[in-house]
Each structure stands twice: as C-alpha cells, then as structure tokens.
Structure 1
Amino acid sequence: MPKSYHLFEVYGIELEYMLVSKTDLKVQPIVDQLLSLKNGELTAELENGSVAWSNELVAHVVEIKTNGPTADLKNLAKAFHKNIVEINALLAPLDAKLLPTAAHPFMDPLTETRLWKHSYSEIYALYNRIFNCKGHGWSNVQSTHINLPFYDDAEFEKLHAAIRLVLPLIPSLCASSPILDGKLTGFKDTRLEYYKTNQQEIPEMTGLVIPEAVFNKKEYSERIFEPIKNAIRPRDTENILDHHFLNSRGAIARFDRNAIEIRLVDIQECPKADVAICSLIIATLQALVNGDFCDLETQKAWHEKDLYEILELGIKHGENANITNMDFLALFGISEAMTANRLWDHIFAYVAHYMDNSFLSTIIQILEHGTLASRIEKALAQDASEAKIALVYEQLATCLHENKLYLP
C-alpha cells in the first residue's frame, strides 16, 4: 500500500505535451516510437531519474511527471525542462517535436485521432466505444495535474473544502486554449468548455465539474463513486473500469493513494510557468486550510452550483471574468466586485510567503501580462490567419524548448 503523507508534505505534478511535425505542426501519433527510442523497447512508462514518462489515451500525447511524490517544487521546472530537451532530441530524427498549450490550434480530431494501441488499450477502446473519443474534448487536450496528499478523513475534509473554492478561479490564472480548428473560439479556456460536456452520456462521471460538498471517504463513496459505478455498469460488461479512473470532476479523490488530483489547469508554454502556477495554487490552498482567509465551516458551506457559475465565467473570459458574487469574494476578505485578475493579485499578495522566492517573479509577469490565452490572442492582433497562428505556435514551441515565458 502506498505511503500516506500529511497535507502539503509532498506533491505530484504531471504535464502533458503533444508530438507534432517540425515542418508543419501536424500531430504525430508516435509516442510509442519515442518511448521505444528512450527505453530500447516499447514500454508504457519509464523512469528517468526524478521524472517519469508515460503514454496517454491518444498516441500523440506524452506525459512527463514527478517520479513519485516529491517535496522539492523549487527544482522541478529545471528537471522537467531537462527531460523536454531530451525528448526533443529523440524526436528530431523523426521530424517531430513537443508543442505546449492545452489544445492544438489546427488538429482535426475526427480524422487525426489515433488511440494508444498497446498496454491498457482495452480500457481506452472501451472508453472510445462509450464516449467516441475522437473529439476535441478527448484527443485534443493537454493539461497539468496537481496531486496533493491527505493523511486521513480530517485532512481530506480540509483539503477538499479548500480545493472546491479554488477550482473556479483556475481558468482565470492559466487558460491557454483560445483556438480550435484554426479559429479563435471566443473562450479563453476552450479545453474546459469541452471538458464540461464530453462525458454527457454518463453525467454522473463529471457532475458539475466542481465536486459535491462531501468531506469524508464514506460520504464520497456514497454520493460520487456509487452513482458512477451504477451508471457505468450496463456498459462496462467486462468490469474493467475503475471508479477512481472514471471520476472526471475537476478534482478527484484518490483514496487508493490518499491524494486529491486537480485537473483544471491548462498546460502553459514552459515548465517555468507551469510549476510557478502550481506553486501559487498550492499556496492558496495552504492559506485556506490554515484559516488565513476564512474558517473551515464557511468553506464547506458552498454548493457546487454556485461555484460552477464562477468557473464558467473564467472558462469564457479568463482573467477578465467579472466576479460579482459578493459572498464568494468575502471569503477572501474583499467587499467589492472585481475581475478575476484583480482577485488573483489580492490572493497572491496574501499567500506569497508560502511560496519559494524563485516563483514570485514568474507569477508577477503572468498576472501583469494575462493568461497565456490572452497573450496568444494579443500576438495574433487583427490577423488570425492560419499562417499567423502557425507562427505563434512555433514561437510557443521554442518557449517550451528554452523554458521561457511567452511575452509578445
């Protein structure tokens, strides 16, 4: 059984990247070749020091992640970047490279999707039969996952209460998917716009994205896991789908390893930005758990419907979302309506002392220049032609390789 850790003792960070052609940015479903080149033979997962690599649902997305729980966030961006450089070197002879952001700007998922055909392929095939995974919400999505431990029900209660309040604000900090099918979508976080409904055939799996107000293992099982199991049973005739795997809320409880996994973070242009954003989210959660803003009972009282309304604003408008729910703002000691960006400025000022100093300048730049989605839109200016979009995403690929922020 995995070791149990206490709150904020260790972290697990996962980053997803797409493999694309170096010449025209078309997706390249060759993750199996990449892993074979590194390992000497095909494997679904490999260890590379402090970082591990693995496949995902589709054959053009690779995941790099902390190799087990780590207490060292400070050096994580450098470790991820080192692996990105190595992956790009392995891909170069195949005329391929890694591309960041949460969605490919041109991919046609109906014709270009290739599911992973190797280990766990029977699970992916079943998912495809149920949900038809050839769609933007399935095969054209890349995200950052944050895994946070809890030791027992008492710690789960505090962590889950805090996470539920922070989830609605995440898109306004890190939206990076403003383009699909070669066009601006009108959403800063188009990945999450699809995320809301891509499993609508079985609504029990995603719920309202914001998890229900449940604060112990027994209640979580009764209100979330059991409805999922009951809903999937007629379709999972071979009984191969795990309820932990099926739970698709924006944060999911993993009682098999005593952790909560946050899934609403759009991946950024480089690990420097990703890990800094993770650090700010974690620091905000620490402040909430410690009662810096409001007490536990106040946090627990929120219904997912009210939080979902704020989330939708962030998905659409990113940092420009105008938050007018005064009860929500009061949680953070604010008494006037304001944009999500101003709210994050306020939160950052209060929680920066929980963060390593190395992250502060990156967060300051992100809050000053806006979400990556807004920076992509700014770079396009009045020219959202395919050629200009391709140029911007080539620049983003360079930012990934060089681990630098995109500041057009």
Structure 2
Amino acid sequence: MKKYHLFEVFGIELEYMLVQNSNLKVAPIVDTLLTKKNGKLTSDIDNGDIAWSNELVAHVVELKTNGPTNNLECLSESFHKNIIEINALLKPLQACLLPTAAHPLMNPLTDTQLWKHEYNEIYELYNRIFNCKGHGWSNVQSTHINLPFYDDKEFEKLHAAIRILLPLIPGLCASSPILESKKTGFKDTRLEYYKTNQKKIPEMTGSVIPERVFTKADYYATIFEPIKKAVKPFDHDNILDHHFLNSRGAIARFDRNAIEIRLVDIQECPKADMAICNLIIEILKLLVNKKLSKLQLQKKWLKQDLLNILNPIIKDAETFKVSNMEYLELFGINESMSVQNIWRHLYELVKTNLPNPYQEAIEHILIEGTLATRILNAIGKDYSEKNITKVYLQLANCLQENKLFIP
C-alpha cells in the first residue's frame, strides 16, 4: 500500500437513499441497481473515477472516489455524472436518489431491510448486537472525508487539528431536522442518534470526539484494544475488524494510513458536498501548519470539553453562539460569536483556495443557513406528509441538477 503525505490526496464518500419517486417511500433495491449496472450482482462497482457500493441496508448506495485523488475541483462534476447515471437506471423502476442525512417520513421499524448479499454475515452480526432497525442505523446518510498521514509525526498534527474542528462541523452542514414527519428540535438529528446508537458497547463510539491520542501505539492501546475486548463476547468467530468497529466522529484507519471524518451530513447536491469538504480541508491545513494556533494548544483539549461545544451545535447548528474564549482563540477569534460567523471568519481566511463554484456554494450556506435551516424554512408550519414530500422532491431535483436548494 502506497503511503501519502498530509493533504497530498483525498478520499470522499457520499451516501444516498433510494426512494420511490412518486411518494418518497423507501426503495430497498440497491441490489437491483447494481445488477442493472454490472450485469450481475457485486457489492462494489468501478465506474471510472467513482466507485459504487452497497451499505448496511438495502436502500442506501455509496458513491466514493475510486482510490485516492488529488483533484477536489473535478469531483463535484464526477459525482454528479454518476448520480445522473444512477437516476437513469432507477427511472424504469419508478425510483430515484434522495439527498440529505435523514429521510423525513421513514418508519425504520417497518421500512428497514438489511443487505442480504456479500458481507451480509457482518451486517447480521451488527443487527444481532444492536438491532439496526432504528433511525441511527437505517436512516443516516453522511459524507466521509479521508485524509492521509505518512507517519506518527503527521498523524499527531492531523489528529490534533481534526479533533478541535469537529464540534463546528454540524454548524456548516446539518441537514437532518425532520424524522417521521416531525421537527425533532435538532438540526443535525443524524448526529444526535449517532451518539447513542451503539450504547450497548459504548467503547465503539466513545464520546464521538476521539481521545487525546497522537501515536499509532497510543491509539491501539487507548481505543482499539478496549473495543476488541468489549466486542469479543458478541463476536465468537472474529469477523469484525477494529477499524470498522471504531465509530468516533473521526476514526484512524491505520490499514490505509488515513483519518476518516464522519460528522458531515450529506447535502442536497455534490457541489455543496464538495464545497464543504474543500473548506474543511483548507481550514485543517491552516491548523496543521500552525497558522491559527500552536500544536500544543490544539493537543491539550479533552474530549469532554470538545463534546460540550459539539452538543449544542448538533441542536442549533449555525445559530448557536460559542462563548468559550479559549476554544475560539484556537481559530484566531477573540470575541463570542455564532457558529455561522465563525465559519464566515474561517472562510475568509481560505476563500481564494476554493474554486469559484465552491465559493458560491459556501457563500450561499453562510448567508441562507445550513440545509437543515433551509428545509425548515421551506416546510414552514405545514408538517403534512404532502408538504414534506413536496419539499423533499425539490431536494431530489437539486441532486439531479447539481444545484443548491433555495426555499
């Protein structure tokens, strides 16, 4: 396996739900989609620079960069081409892809079907342990950002920077404010469920914010070993890999020398997703290069202190006002401000490094609000199934056309 240095390449993963295009009902037909594309059923399909694969449940498909790439600028278009192709394959089946991090009408107890094909023994074991018929398992679509590190020295810098940026991420990309036709009170409901969906084995998710570990040896001792020990009574045949079991908001993948960020809610179109990924990466570069704060200051933050900042942002996203001055100083800010204004400040620092279409997307989000806020504005006070369906079909259209949602 080739090893890469910091920010030399990137890996992006996008998850989408399949739904019936007339009424948004969940369509558990990913196996049919993959068979139509490939001529036979396989769980992974290479489609040029993008690959397709199945997930835990039969109604979610994952699109991902086909190996590491150094070109973020072209990814919006690459993902969009694949979305158009998938929607064309789904059209005769009266189905389409639905964006956002949570389906607003789904009943996971009745609508969930687990993937029944390749790797299904892993999914069945997860289901036996956790019962995966819940919103935190079968109604969660996210964007994953994979960033490489070469050795312990690079891992230390990257892990320190990611840990302190994690609490702010929902304030940029929350997109899951409605479940089962109701406003949940959380703009990032996906993450609210993410925190507790594995509470039966708490070692797996930890506190969402990873522990203060900055070497491979410490990571194994502090995170992987307790996970392996905790899961052993459930996994008699040793089929679960500790890399996959680790469910923190950012996980170290020492099998491929990368850290995977998992707190990003998927947006309405790849242009928005890739703009957010690009912005997060550019801010991490500033942190890693000590342009905003020193490494020692970044490393000293305890997971609980960072979680205390993350929790209200999961609830209120961009409108929450951060008043922890010590935290704000990590980003060169010396007064209390809303998360929206924190991101405005950070965006101005790196704006010129983003391609123009991504600048437009970020500016739209920073002015109009997170996708969760825009969805709530579009719904208004009418939480009828008819109105919710109407708004989310507009979002499905945004995905098809790769355009941002304007309520």
Q: TM-score range by the shorter chain?
A: over 0.9
Which consecutive segments of 4 or more residues in structure 1 shift more than 4 A? none
8 Å contact 1:81–1:403 — kept in the other structure? yes
Residue 75 of structure 2 aligns to which amino acid in structure 1? Answer: L
Report the equivalent of 1:12.
11
Looking at structure 2, the residues matched to 122 and 6 of structure 1 have their Cα atoms a distance apart, in angstroms, of 35
Deviates more, 1:9-18 or 1:325-334: 325-334
Structure 2 length-normalised TM: 0.99
Question: CA offset at residue 392 of structure 1?
Answer: 0.4
* Contact preservation (8 Å) 1:74, 1:358: no
Q: Secondary structure at the match of 2:17?
A: strand
Contact 2:12 2:143 in 1 (8 A): yes
Cα distance in 1, alignment partners of residues 220 and 385 from structure 2: 47
Counterparts of 1:281 and 1:173, CA distance in 2: 10
Q: Which residue of 2 aligns with 1:97?
A: 96
CA contact (8 A) 2:249 2:263 kept: yes
**Cα distance in 2, alignment partners of residues 80 and 316 from structure 1:** 29
Tell me how far apart the structure 2 counterparts of residues 36 and 206 of structure 1 sit (CA, whole Å). Answer: 34
Question: Which shows bigger deviation, 51-60 or 329-338?
Answer: 329-338
1:229–1:243 contact (8 Å) kept in structure 2: yes
Which residue does the alignment assign to 2:64? 65
Q: Within the alignment, does 1:398 sit opposite 2:384 as a pair?
A: no
Q: What corresponds to 1:37 in structure 2?
A: 36
Rounded to whole Å, the distance in 1 between the matches of 2:4 and 2:398 is 35
Cross-structure match for 1:107 = 106
> Is the Cα–Cα contact under 8 Å of residues 205 and 247 in structure 1 kept in the other structure?
yes
Q: Aligned-pair distance for 1:332?
A: 1.2
Structure-2 separation of matches of 1:203 and 1:289:
30
User: How far apart in 2 are the matches of 1:147 and 1:377?
Assistant: 30
Q: Is the 8 A contact 1:313 1:322 kept in 2?
A: no
Q: Distance in 2 between matches of 1:179 and 1:353?
A: 35
* SS in structure 2 at match of 1:97: strand
Shift of 1:126: 0.2
Deviation for aligned residue 1:36 = 0.2
**What are the equivalent positions in structure 2 for 1:306-325 lying under 5 Å apart?**
306-325=305-324
Partner of 1:370: 369
- Shift of the alpha carbon at 1:194? 0.1
Name the CA distance, whole Å, in 2 between partners of 1:354 and 1:9.
15
Q: Tell me what 2:49 maps to.
A: 50
The answer as to 2:299 corresponding to 1:300 is yes
**How far off its partner does 1:356 sit?**
3.2
In structure 2, how many angstroms separate the alpha carbons of the residues matched to 1:385 and 1:310? 34
2:130–2:200 contact (8 Å) kept in structure 1: yes
Partner residue, 1:215: 214
Whole-Å separation in 2 of the counterparts to 1:312 and 1:31: 34
Moved more, 102-111 or 382-391: 382-391
Helix, strand or coil at the partner of 2:214: coil
- In the comparison of the two structures, how many residue pairs are matched? 407
Q: How far did residue 407 of structure 1 move?
A: 1.1
> Which structure 2 residue ranges, 5 or more long, are not aligned?
none
How much has 1:337 moved relative to structure 2?
A: 1.1
Whole-Å separation in 2 of the counterparts to 1:383 and 1:28? 25
Residue in structure 2 matched with residue 287 of structure 1 by the alignment? 286
TM-score for both structures, normalised by structure 1: 0.99
Contact 1:19 1:31 in 2 (8 A): yes
Aligned counterparts of 2:181 and 2:35: Cα–Cα separation in 1: 32
Shift of 1:353: 3.5
Cα offset, 1:360, TM superposition: 1.1
Aligned residue for 1:268? 267
- Secondary structure at the aligned position of 1:245 is classed as helix
Distance 1:325 1:204 in 2: 28
Identity %: 67
Does 1:160 find its partner at 2:156?
A: no
Segments of 5+ residues of structure 1 without an aligned counterpart are none
- Partner residue in 2 for 1:190: 189
- Per-residue displacement from partner, 1:181-226 (whole Å, max 9, x unpaired)? 1111010000000000000000000010000010000000000000
SS of aligned partner of 2:121: helix
2:86 corresponds to which residue? 87
CA distance in structure 1 between the partners assigned to 2:317 and 2:297 by the alignment: 26
